[in-house]
């Protein structure tokens, strides 16, 4: 097989041709600043508001509840840091308490570490062996000064889908802000922020066929979250800076298309994913599937292989034209075992051999067969050596 087989869609996705086409005029023809009064700038403003309306509709929100950012990391930082700031202002400087999980993306975990320096206490909700938050244990963690709960919608490493509705209902009963990092879920799973009681939601365009450097934060309209970037009056005075018009336009088009195609792509990708899982578990010894068997993203197949390092396997597969990951793309190259796997109780001997395959709509059964054969060859050679 001569072409590259891309099985790392959790890291990033190819820019959809339709998104690229939608962006092009705003790179060359309609280049006006959206904050200006003349027609050239008004064209940019109209495009931004059209994308805002499209994205709001996909999660059953109002357009004025969507705020454009540079991506999921910024959205996560904004949600956590300013929720703590809001709590402190409302309670005359009282120190806040945040609930999250040990399986979150580092955009959440490292932000919590930074907030700890400001005397904001973070506590981590327990998860089971599949990485699923134990809702029954969550209520025990709530304190008098708990201001918010932040739980990712679906895990970026092992694909487990969290019980968001149940956790958000718990947060609502205790009058907590509920935030979810939906970077891996948005565009791949149907989300209804009203029905699911989600107060804030982060998403990133390049995970669903949009351009890198664009994302959004949904903020329920009755949460007066403070501005994150100060300057001009963009994004209703909450996120200053001239807008990335082409990026926003491309994200809006990708959001529209990913939701229109979601059902068909989900069925196709899940079928391929199950085929991959079945072959790997049947044909490769000393291998375990990580994450939930049933509540997992349709495109995610994550394994641990005993006696090898996942990073070395990924490098050798790359020589065969296969792109996979040894974990989160944001932590590749680090020596530590996956914090997600360790939180799920998988010991270092297994966690060291973690490998993640994340499929997309363009992948084929032929590619999966080729991948499995090359994976078997690489593992056999490594284990003999």
Q: Is there a single domain that holds both residue 315 and residue 224?
A: no
Q: Is there a single domain that holds both residue 275 and residue 231?
A: no
Of the residues 202, 225, 260, the one at which a domain ends = 260
Tokens representing 232 are: 């001009």
Give the residues across from 304 on adjacent strands: 288, 354
| pLDDT classification of 328: cutoffs 50, 70, 90 | low
Which domain range does residue 157 map to? 17-260
For the residues 28-48, what does the mean pLDDT come to?
94
User: What is the tally of structural domains in the chain?
Assistant: 2
Q: Is there a single domain that holds both residue 188 and residue 286?
A: no
**Residue among 112, 120, 147, 330 flagged as catalytic:** 330
| pLDDT on residue 201 | 98
**pLDDT at 1 > cutoff 70:** no
Report pLDDT digits (tens) over 149-165. 999 999 999 999 999 99
For the residues 218-223, what does the mean pLDDT come to?
97
Report pLDDT digits (tens) over 267-307. 999 999 999 999 999 999 999 999 999 999 999 999 999 99
> CB 264: neighbour CB atoms within 10 A?
10
What's the rounded Cα separation, in Å, for the pair 319 and 49?
45
For the residues 339-352, what does the mean pLDDT come to?
95
| pLDDT on residue 384 | 85
Tokens representing 340 are: 């997600």
| pLDDT on residue 164 | 98
Q: Is there a single domain that holds both residue 341 and residue 214?
A: no
Q: Is there a single domain that holds both residue 285 and residue 186?
A: no
Q: Is residue 330 among the annotated active site residues?
A: yes
- The burial of 139, by beta-carbon neighbours within 10 Å (0-12 exposed, 13-18 middle, 19 or more buried), is given as exposed
**pLDDT at 314 > cutoff 60:** yes
Of the residues 232, 260, 288, the one at which a domain ends = 260
Q: Is there a single domain that holds both residue 281 and residue 246?
A: no
For residue 187, what is the domain's CATH number? 3.40.640.10
Of the residues 231, 260, 289, the one at which a domain ends = 260
Q: In what order do the strands lie in the sheet with 354-358?
A: 287-289, 300-305, 354-358
Give residue for tokens 């989600």: 198
Q: Is there a single domain that holds both residue 219 and residue 289?
A: no
Q: Is there a single domain that holds both residue 179 and residue 295?
A: no
For residue 311, what is the domain's CATH number? 3.90.1150.10
Report pLDDT digits (tens) over 107-151. 999 999 999 998 899 999 999 999 999 999 999 999 999 999 999
Q: What is the largest CA-CA distance in the chain?
A: 70
For the residues 251-266, what does the mean pLDDT come to?
98
Q: Is there a single domain that holds both residue 209 and residue 300?
A: no
| pLDDT on residue 380 | 95
| pLDDT on residue 336 | 78
| pLDDT on residue 324 | 98
Q: What are phi and psi of 353, to 5 degrees?
A: -100, 30
Tokens representing 245 are: 């018009």
Q: Is there a single domain that holds both residue 218 and residue 188?
A: yes
Beta pairing, strands 215-219 & 200-204 = antiparallel
Report pLDDT digits (tens) over 270-279. 999 999 999 9
Q: Is there a single domain that holds both residue 139 and residue 214?
A: yes
| pLDDT on residue 335 | 61
Inter-residue contact 316 to 366 (CB < 8 Å): no
Mean pLDDT of the chain: 95
Percent of the chain with pLDDT over 70: 97
Q: Is there a single domain that holds both residue 99 and residue 174?
A: yes
């Amino acid at each position: 097989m001569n072409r590259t087989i891309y099985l790392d869609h959790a890291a990033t996705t190819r820019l959809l041709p339709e998104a690229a086409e939608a962006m092009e005029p705003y790179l060359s023809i309609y280049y006006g600043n959206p904050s200006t009064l003349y027609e050239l700038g008004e064209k940019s403003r109209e495009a931004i508001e059209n994308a805002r309306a499209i994205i709001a509709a996909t999660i059953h929100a109002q357009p004025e509840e969507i705020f454009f950012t540079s991506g999921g990391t910024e959205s996560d930082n904004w949600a956590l840091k300013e929720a703590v700031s809001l709590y402190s202002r409302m309670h005359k400087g009282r120190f806040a308490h945040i609930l999250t999980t040990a399986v979150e993306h580092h955009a959440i975990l490292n932000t919590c570490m930074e907030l700890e320096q400001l005397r904001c206490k973070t506590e981590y909700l327990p998860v089971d062996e599949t990485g699923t938050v134990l809702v029954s244990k969550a209520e025990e963690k709530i304190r008098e000064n708990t201001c918010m709960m932040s739980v990712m919608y679906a895990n970026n490493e092992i694909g487990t889908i969290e019980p968001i509705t149940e956790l958000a209902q718990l947060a609502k009963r205790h009058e907590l802000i509920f935030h979810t990092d939906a970077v891996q879920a948005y565009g791949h799973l149907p989300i209804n922020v009203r029905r699911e009681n989600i107060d804030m939601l982060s998403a990133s365009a390049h995970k669903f066929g949009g351009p890198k450097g664009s994302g959004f934060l949904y903020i329920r309209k009755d949460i007066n979250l403070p501005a994150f970037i100060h300057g001009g009056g963009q994004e209703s005075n909450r996120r200053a800076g001239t807008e990335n018009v082409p990026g926003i336009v491309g994200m809006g088009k990708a959001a529209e298309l990913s939701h229109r195609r979601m059902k068909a792509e989900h069925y196709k990708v899940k079928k391929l994913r199950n085929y991959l899982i079945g072959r790997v578990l049947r044909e490769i010894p000393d291998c375990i599937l990580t994450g939930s068997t049933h509540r997992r993203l349709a495109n995610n197949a994550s394994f641990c292989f005993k006696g090898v390092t996942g990073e070395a396997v990924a490098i050798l597969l790359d020589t065969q034209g296969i792109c996979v990951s040894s974990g989160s793309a944001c932590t590749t190259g680090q020596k530590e075992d996956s914090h997600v796997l360790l939180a799920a109780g998988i010991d270092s001997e297994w966690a060291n051999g973690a490998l993640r395959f994340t499929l997309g709509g363009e992948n084929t059964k032929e590619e999966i067969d080729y991948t499995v054969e090359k994976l078997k060859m690489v593992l056999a050679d490594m284990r003999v050596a």
